[in-house]
């Protein structure tokens, strides 16, 4: 991401992060408009060999300003709830540019999507197909649908974010997928458009994607032999980035491998990246409240900051690593710290064993938190959720007001 130091102060796209903290307080998520744009162009540029659509996975960061930004860059969208569909509509995005996935779509969500003119509903079970058919018949609509295949491919990622193994709840195995496509093809209230899969998240090698694509291509051919034409193959998201020492997915070789497989097949490729587009564009600004140096040999030095697991749950939930940078210069000695939050759980940590020159009041940036950061935040311990700020054209813009505790209590004052 575009971080650099000016006069010892960490700046994002030329804007001093200490000034962002002074103006909007901490904790605060801060994003780079330019970084999102660069990532989008890098990905689109790598895929020019094939007809494709980049469907940004809204769940990674659903702030309306980010959706609007990606919309203007030409993205389509991947959504997984009626709430995310509502966000697109509020952002002025045409629902026909969205693919709706998810294993548990309710009747209300299906009706909402059909009435809004959704681009495609990605079906994840036969029971869902039956529900979609009955709702579209009732509403006198023709539902644009695809089937999500579970290709049983190992993405070599954290078990919580692996989704393409047969024991995972997502998608259906090939024989069921064939049956569902045949059924949808015959139905007068469904139009079968595509086949999809999503094998997991934070995947840093090309091979699992190629393996999954092979399964989709084989299924497409089986269907074509039965007279069922498929217009798109959706390879899902999962493109991995670099949080620590790992290599990020090589986009050029990913794009080349995928393009080689699809050449001559006259089919559109859809992909659903979330993390790749926004993770590195964002950081979480937090201030040290207290230093609690070790008093025993087996006790860590604790730096207690004003952000916590309710603001960023990735370290607690997936043992995820995020880089930490001091925003300002420091005269303190460099010491090994565990960066922890105020929440009453020992799992409430943001980073462990980091060598930093901290003092009380130091401002810190927790890096690469633009994806699955704010969106996974909660009000645990009755903590109001943080502000979100966009850095754009050398300026800072508030894109989400910090919650107040009265915002939270409002929903419980039932008379």
Q: Which residues bind ligand LLP (CB under 6 A)?
A: 57, 59-60, 78, 101, 161, 198, 201-202, 236-239, 272-276, 314, 318, 371-372, 376
Q: Give min distance, CB of 315 to ligand LLP, in A.
A: 10
Helix (H) or strand (E) holding 60: none
What is the distance in angstroms between the CA of the first residue and the CA of the last residue of the chain? Answer: 49
Q: Which residue number, 180 or 249, has a Cβ lying nearer to ligand LLP?
A: 249
Q: What is the DSSP string of 150-177?
A: -------S-GGGB--STTSSSSB-HHHH
Q: Which residue number, 27 or 240, has a Cβ lying nearer to ligand LLP?
A: 240
Q: Which residue number, 159 or 175, has a Cβ lying nearer to ligand LLP?
A: 159
Q: Which residue number, 36 or 239, has a Cβ lying nearer to ligand LLP?
A: 239
Contact status, residue 275 vs residue 371, Cβ threshold 8 Å: yes
Q: Which residue number, 243 or 337, has a Cβ lying nearer to ligand LLP?
A: 243
> Alpha-carbon torsion 203, 206, 212, 217, what sign?
positive
Q: Give min distance, CB of 396 to ligand LLP, in A.
A: 25
Q: Give min distance, CB of 201 to ligand LLP, in A.
A: 3
CA–CA separation, 142 vs 121, rounded Å? 11
Among 193, 60, 56, CA closest to 132: 193
Phi, psi of 146 (to 5 degrees): -135, 170
CA–CA separation, 124 vs 101, rounded Å? 8
SS3 98: strand
Q: Give min distance, CB of 297 to ligand LLP, in A.
A: 34
Which of 11, 181, 197, 344 is an active site residue? 344
Q: Give min distance, CB of 146 to ligand LLP, in A.
A: 11
Give yes or no: 344 in active site.
yes
Q: Give min distance, CB of 282 to ligand LLP, in A.
A: 12
The tally of CA atoms less than 13 A away on the side-chain side of residue 127 is 7
Lookup: tokens for 51: 């007809």
> Alpha-carbon torsion 326, 367, 315, 354, what sign?
negative
Beta strands 120-123 and 143-148, pairing class: parallel
Q: Give min distance, CB of 273 to ligand LLP, in A.
A: 4
CA–CA separation, 56 vs 97, rounded Å? 10
Lookup: tokens for 302: 């604790």
CA distances from 153 to 195, 211, 213, 221 (A): 16, 7, 10, 19
Q: Which residue number, 21 or 203, has a Cβ lying nearer to ligand LLP?
A: 203
Q: Which residue number, 27 or 315, has a Cβ lying nearer to ligand LLP?
A: 315
Contact status, residue 309 vs residue 316, Cβ threshold 8 Å: yes
CA–CA separation, 36 vs 32, rounded Å? 7
Q: Which positions are annotated as active-site residues?
A: 344
């Amino acid at each position: 991401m575009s971080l650099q130091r000016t006069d010892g102060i960490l700046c994002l796209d030329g804007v001093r992060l200490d000034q962002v903290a002074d103006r909007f307080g901490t904790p605060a998520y801060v994003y780079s408009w330019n970084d999102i744009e660069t990532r989008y162009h890098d990905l689109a540029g790598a895929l020019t060999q094939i007809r494709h659509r980049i469907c940004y996975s809204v769940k990674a960061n659903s702030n309306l300003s980010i959706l609007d930004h990606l919309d203007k860059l030409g993205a389509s969208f991947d959504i997984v709830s009626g709430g995310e569909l509502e966000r697109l509509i509020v952002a002025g995005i045409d629902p026909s540019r969205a693919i709706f996935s998810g294993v548990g779509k309710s009747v209300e969500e299906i009706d909402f999507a059909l009435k809004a003119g959704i681009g495609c509903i990605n079906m994840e079970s036969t029971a869902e197909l039956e529900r979609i058919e009955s709702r579209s018949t009732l509403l006198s609509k023709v539902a644009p649908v695809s089937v999500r295949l579970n290709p049983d491919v190992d993405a070599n990622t954290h078990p919580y974010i692996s989704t393409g193994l047969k024991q995972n709840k997502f998608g259906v195995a090939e024989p069921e997928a064939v049956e569902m496509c045949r059924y949808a093809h015959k139905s007068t209230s469904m139009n079968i458009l595509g086949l999809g899969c999503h094998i997991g998240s934070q995947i840093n090698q090309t091979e699992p994607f190629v393996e999954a694509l092979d399964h989709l291509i084989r299924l497409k051919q089986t269907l074509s032999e039965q007279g069922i034409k498929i217009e798109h193959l959706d390879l899902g998201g999962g493109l991995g980035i670099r949080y620590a020492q790992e290599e990020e997915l090589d986009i050029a070789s990913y794009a080349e491998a995928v393009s080689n497989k699809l050449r001559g097949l006259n089919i559109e490729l859809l992909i659903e990246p979330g993390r790749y587009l926004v993770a590195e564009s964002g950081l979480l600004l937090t201030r040290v409240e207290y230093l609690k140096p070790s008093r025993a040999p087996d006790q860590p030095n604790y730096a207690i900051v004003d952000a916590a697991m309710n603001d960023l749950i990735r370290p607690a939930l997936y043992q995820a690593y995020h880089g930490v940078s001091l925003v300002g210069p420091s005269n303190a000695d460099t010491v090994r710290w565990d960066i922890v939050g105020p929440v009453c759980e020992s799992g409430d940590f943001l980073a462990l064993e980091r060598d930093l020159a901290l003092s009380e009041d130091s401002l810190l940036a927790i890096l690469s938190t633009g994806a699955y950061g704010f969106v996974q935040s909660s009000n645990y311990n009755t903590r109001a959720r943080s502000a979100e700020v966009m850095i754009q054209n050398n300026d800072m813009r508030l894109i989400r007001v910090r919650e107040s505790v009265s915002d939270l209590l409002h929903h419980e004052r039932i008379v």
